[in-house]
């Protein structure tokens, strides 16, 4: 992981909140802090201080405490008596998240191939066409948006409301990691090939193919994530 200032005495890892978000401060603190943890901006077993976090966010300690409780429920941090709050996210945890997401996304892809409507097929293909154009132009920001749109369209086509809710906790990328990934020309080409294959299988009604293509895509992109965040080349 890249060396960055420690949150207990420096800045750079946490953005202050826009005042317009004050009505839902806890949720925004949770989102930003969760993203920072998953992006590897904290070391495993690093101690975080609620008051110093609040200063970094520019808020009171109350929403920080509430956000940390949510993170503890997710297993990303742990509050220990007389020791404070410790970061529990590490490479093993990340690998499990990736494999869980691969399992869920692959089943969603399988069901999308069975349930997708003709209208949704056309919409999905149009998104792939836009992804191809963005890949050729090297527009990383556009690709980030299109990637999210692509997976959202598959979720809707599958009509898997329960699985879609389960997968929310397995989102391990933040915008900064996505930007690093999509700024690499080789990675952009690999992702386009994989997205094209996934879409083709779903549109053709090939449930087994869609399941396999989606699983392989999530695992491979997860390995790229591990390489960026933890410096790991390990296959999962």
Q: Which CATH class is domain 91-230?
A: mainly alpha
Q: Which of 197, 195, 203 is nearest to 112 (CA)?
A: 203
Reported in sequence order, the residue ranges of the chain that DSSP labels E, i.e. its strands, are 47-48, 77-80, 84-87
What is the three-class DSSP state of 42?
A: coil
Q: What is the pLDDT of residue 236?
A: 73
Domain spans of the chain, in order of start: 19-87, 91-230
Question: Residue 185: is it exposed, middle or buried by C-beta count within 10 angstroms (0-12/13-18/19+)?
Answer: exposed
Question: Residue 168: is it exposed, middle or buried by C-beta count within 10 angstroms (0-12/13-18/19+)?
Answer: exposed
Q: Which of 42, 98, 102 is nearest to 71 (CA)?
A: 42
Over the stretch 149-176, which tens digit does the pLDDT of each residue have? 999 999 999 999 898 888 877 776 666 6
How far is CA 219 from its chain centroid?
A: 13
Q: Which CATH class is domain 19-87?
A: mainly alpha
Per-residue pLDDT of the chain (236 residues; tens, 9 = 90+): 444 444 444 456 776 655 554 458 899 999 899 989 988 899 999 999 999 999 999 999 999 999 999 999 988 999 998 888 999 999 998 898 889 999 999 999 999 999 999 999 999 999 999 999 999 998 888 998 999 999 999 999 999 989 888 887 777 666 667 777 887 889 999 999 999 999 999 999 999 999 999 999 999 999 998 998 888 666 77
**What is the distance between the alpha carbons of residues 35 and 45, in angstroms, rounded to a whole number?**
17
User: Is the distance from CB of 181 to CB of 221 less than 8 angstroms?
Assistant: yes
Place of tokens 């948006």: 145
**What is the distance between the alpha carbons of residues 99 and 92, in angstroms, rounded to a whole number?**
11
């Amino acid at each position: 992981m890249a060396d960055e200032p420690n949150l207990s005495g420096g800045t750079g890892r946490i953005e202050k909140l826009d005042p317009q978000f004050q009505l839902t401060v806890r949720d925004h603190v949770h989102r930003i802090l969760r993203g920072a943890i998953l992006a590897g901006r904290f070391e495993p077993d690093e101690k975080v201080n609620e008051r110093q976090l609040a200063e970094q966010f520019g808020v009171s300690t109350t929403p920080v405490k509430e956000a940390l409780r949510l993170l503890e429920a997710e297993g990303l941090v742990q509050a220990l008596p007389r020791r404070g709050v410790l970061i529990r996210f590490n490479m093993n945890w990340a690998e499990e998240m990736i494999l869980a997401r691969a399992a869920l996304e692959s089943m969603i892809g399988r069901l999308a191939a069975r349930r997708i409507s003709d209208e949704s097929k056309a919409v999905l293909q149009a998104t792939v066409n836009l992804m191809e154009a963005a890949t050729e132009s090297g527009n990383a920001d556009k690709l980030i948006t299109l990637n999210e749109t692509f997976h959202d369209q598959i979720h809707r086509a599958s009509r898997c409301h329960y699985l879609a809710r389960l997968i929310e906790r397995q989102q391990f990328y933040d915008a900064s990691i996505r930007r690093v990934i999509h700024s690499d020309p080789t990675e952009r080409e690999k992702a386009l090939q994989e997205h094209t294959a996934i879409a083709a299988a779903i549109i053709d009604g090939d449930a087994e193919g869609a399941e396999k293509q989606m699983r392989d895509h999530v695992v491979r992109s997860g390995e790229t994530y591990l390489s960026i965040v933890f410096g790991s080349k390990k296959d999962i």
